[in-house]
Amino acid sequence: MAHLAHENVGSGSPVVLFAHAFPMDRRMYRRQVDALAKANVHAIAPDLRGFGASRDLPKAGSIDDHADDLVALLDRLGVERAVVCGLSMGGYVALSLARRHASRLSGLLLADTKAGADDDAAKQARAANIERARHDGVIAVFDAMVPNVLPPDADRAVVEELRGLAAAQDPAGVVAALEAMRDRPDATSALASISVPTRVIVGSADRATPLAQAEILARAIPGAQLTVLEGAGHFTCVERPSEFNRVLLDLVSACR
Ligand code: MLT
């Protein structure tokens, strides 16, 4: 268990706990943390192990380790239950938390993510990205992701913001995360047991975790509601913050 660097804004209940995407850090959610602060909702945004200000912690060996870190953070902050918001890799972590620490969950927002494990092609892509991270740096990993994660007409400021976040990450942390994602188990069979209010968001132009994956989540999780952001890519919280925040605040209301 590691002591994650984090932002902790506000107090009271419900609490929203964020799990960021790869290869990003908690700053990816700054617009969501701001929106929750304005709405007087308690927000906790950590840097997962190996990323951001948690870069020097011992590397996590698995997605489950990241979920355990989040629960340890809730324990340290005296928070019993949280609405967990995870985008992409953060969604894998949120699903692990839902599966292994269900009593700590009061709501779930799964954005641009999926329940399935890596197939052989995805594992090969991980190996290529591990080489890129080691030899060319994290920016090369991000640039290779771009055609799958951002539409050709993506806002330049959004692309530069995401590129800047990626460039700030430690290659060793990124390699550890690629290995953890490559080895994560299939979470599909546990979806039906999720019993908290759940929202699923996907960008219609997300080719990394496309609509079909979001539909699997929304169909399998009882009562889950799906929102498709037309024209958005993979990083919906950065690309389309107003619509993302509307879904998040609606979920928070449902969890009161
Ligand atoms: C992410 O955005 O976290 C990644 O695209 C997830 C993945 O590579 O599976």
Question: pLDDT 10s per residue in the chain (256 long)?
Answer: 679 999 999 999 999 999 999 999 999 999 999 999 999 999 999 999 999 999 999 999 999 999 999 999 999 999 999 999 999 999 999 999 999 999 999 999 999 999 999 999 999 999 999 999 999 999 999 999 999 999 999 999 999 999 999 999 999 999 999 999 999 999 999 999 999 999 999 999 999 999 999 999 999 999 999 999 999 999 999 999 999 999 999 999 999 9
Strands (E), 166-229: 198-203, 225-229
Distance CA(8)–CA(21), nearest Å, equals 19
| Atom of ligand 1 lying closest to residue 88 CA | 3
Q: What is the CB neighbour count within 10 angstroms for residue 103?
A: 8
- Picking from 228, 256, 237, the residue whose alpha carbon sits closest to that of residue 35 is 237
Q: Which atom of ligand 1 is nearest to the CA of 149?
A: 5
Helix 89-100 vs helix 63-77: angle between axes, to the nearest 10 degrees?
70
C-alpha closest to that of 74 among 142, 18, 138: 18
For residue 126, give the ligand 1 atom closest to its CA: 8
Ligand 1 center from residue 256 Cα (angstroms): 30
The amino acid sitting at 150 is: L
Residue 222: CB atoms within 10 A of its CB come to 12
Does any ligand 1 atom lie closer than 6 A to the CB of residue 208?
yes
**Cα 21 to ligand 1 centre (Å):** 6
Q: What is the dihedral of CA 192, 86, 183, 50, to 10 degrees?
A: -160
The candidate with the shortest Cα–Cα distance to 109, out of 200, 48, 224, is 200
To the question of pTM greater than 0.85 for the whole model, the response is yes
Ligand 1 proximity of 57 Cβ (cutoff 6 Å)? no
Is any ligand 1 atom within 6 A of the Cβ of residue 88? yes
Residue 120, classified by CB atoms within 10 Å of its CB into exposed (0-12), middle (13-18) or buried (19+), is exposed
> What's at 128, amino acid-wise?
A
Instruction: Say how many CA atoms lie within 13 Å of 28 toward its Cβ.
Output: 34
Q: Which atom of ligand 1 is found nearest the CA of 234?
A: 2
Q: What is the structure's pLDDT at 2?
A: 78
Ligand 1 pocket test, candidate residues 138, 209, 236, most atoms within 8 A of CB: 209
Q: Enter the tokens of residue 149.
A: 């994660």
Any ligand 1 atom below 6 A from CB of 142: no
Is the Cβ–Cβ distance between 91 and 213 less than 8 Å? no
Q: What is the pLDDT of residue 1?
A: 65
Terminal CA-to-CA distance of the chain, rounded, Å? 30
Query: Which pair of tokens denotes residue 122?
Result: 């995805």
